[in-house]
Amino acid sequence: MDNQNNKNSNKDNFVNKYNNDNNTFEHDSKLPNDIFVTPWEVQGKLGEENYAKLMEKFGTQAISTELIEKIKKITGEIHPLIKFHYFFSHRDFDWLLNKYENGESFYLYTGRGPSGLIHMGHILPWLFTRYMQDKFKSKLLFQITDDEKFLYNPDLDRDKIAEYTYENILDVIAIGFKPELTKIIVDTKHIKHLYPIATEIAKKITFSTAKAVFGFTTMTNIGMIGFPPIQAAPCFLPSIIEKKPTPVLIPAAIDQDPYWRITRDVAEKLGFYKPAQIHSKFLPGLSNSSKMSSSKPETAIFTTDEPEIVEKKVLSSFTGGQPTIDLQKKLGANANICPVFWYLKYFFDSEKASTERYYRCKSGNLLCGECKNQLAEKSKEFIIEFKKRREKARDKITDFMFE
């Protein structure tokens, strides 16, 4: 086909490193011991240096200045989530843009595992995906992996998963995707469209590779072991729908990367393009931890939270501040570790406002109360508006379903 990036075929390293026959997932020496990233669990505090290590470990590329210039050339602007490095890494995004410039349109593909309600951390990549859909008039496949979450989570039964599936779909629609360009795939409902291609993929992946890439052990339930081709399948579905090789771009958090590695490994053997990715960081939780977590509801702002609750959560957030006002005025505070700063930056501040905030904070001229109040107000407004859209979504579900 054409020169898609092959440098990332470091699957072999993975296999060698992890190809042990005992039941443990050996920790990767490139990452500190308290950091653990799989598609189902992210533990530890991820700072800049750890994101760089993840890129190295996964064999992805940083979003370079040249790439940013290229995006700017095509769209005339740079989305803040790229400019602020929330999307920080990619594979073949440059290749995809070349294709686009040569007249080949691409699909977007992203998804959600319905294991709980939606919080602000989840919607950030979706807002970007919507922006991409608007800019490039791309069709979007949105997969809901109800099977994956049922299989993974011992505490979730099928009824609970069905409830989250419904609730999550309302959020997806509320994002504002174009119904005529968007199809939601619910795995257990639309499996017949995925299954033929999933079996083709599955046939090309050994247990040894799956173990190495995903950290499966011999104690993992076999549903989980068989699941990855189901998440890989929508990468190739566009080519089947369009009846010609069709480029696909996946905006997703970096923890989903193992899926794309195995998909890319089999793509050319099956006659498809390798899917391109653009990887995001995680939005920090409001506590002093790595990402916003549904399992700790007080540290995340849910789209279903009442405004008073949003306010309360924000006002009791962890910050990068000093223990006392006097100390803060004297020593300044640390915006880099402050979730309030990052929420404001990613969701609400202009570039200029955010830079000013950063320096006022650092110099001790800005106190945490002020930032918290601003974030509380802005996120309340945001959630109130989002909830209205979510209510309207109830009547639109059939318009968005794959069939």
- Residues at the interface with ligand TRP (CB under 6 A): 39, 109-113, 143, 145, 148, 231, 250, 252, 256
The residue type found at 187 is: D
The residue (of 198 and 376) whose beta carbon lies closer to ligand TRP is: 198
Least Å distance between CB 267 and ligand TRP?
A: 15
Least Å distance between CB 115 and ligand TRP?
A: 7
Least Å distance between CB 185 and ligand TRP?
A: 9
Q: What is the DSSP letter of 85?
A: T
DSSP string, 281-330: -PPPPSSSSSS--TTSGGGS-BTT--HHHHHHHHHT---S--SSHHHHHH
Residue among 31, 50, 91, 60 at smallest CA distance from 282: 50
The residue (of 275 and 332) whose beta carbon lies closer to ligand TRP is: 275
Cα separation of 234 and 225, whole Å? 18
How many CA atoms lie less than 13 Å away from 394 in the CB half-sphere? Answer: 4
The residue type found at 1 is: M
Q: What is the DSSP letter of 345?
A: I
Least Å distance between CB 160 and ligand TRP?
A: 15
Residue among 99, 105, 171 at smallest CA distance from 142: 171
- Which segments within 96-228 are labelled E, that is strand? 107-112, 140-144, 182-186
The residue (of 256 and 319) whose beta carbon lies closer to ligand TRP is: 256
Q: What is the DSSP letter of 255?
A: G
Backbone angles phi and psi of 388, in degrees to 5: -60, -45
The residue (of 5 and 256) whose beta carbon lies closer to ligand TRP is: 256
The residue (of 252 and 361) whose beta carbon lies closer to ligand TRP is: 252
The residue (of 148 and 305) whose beta carbon lies closer to ligand TRP is: 148
Q: What is the DSSP letter of 236?
A: T
The residue (of 143 and 319) whose beta carbon lies closer to ligand TRP is: 143
Q: What is the DSSP letter of 27?
A: P
Least Å distance between CB 283 and ligand TRP?
A: 14
284 in Cβ contact with 291 (< 8 Å) = yes
Q: What is the DSSP letter of 335?
A: G
Least Å distance between CB 345 and ligand TRP?
A: 23
Least Å distance between CB 264 and ligand TRP?
A: 14
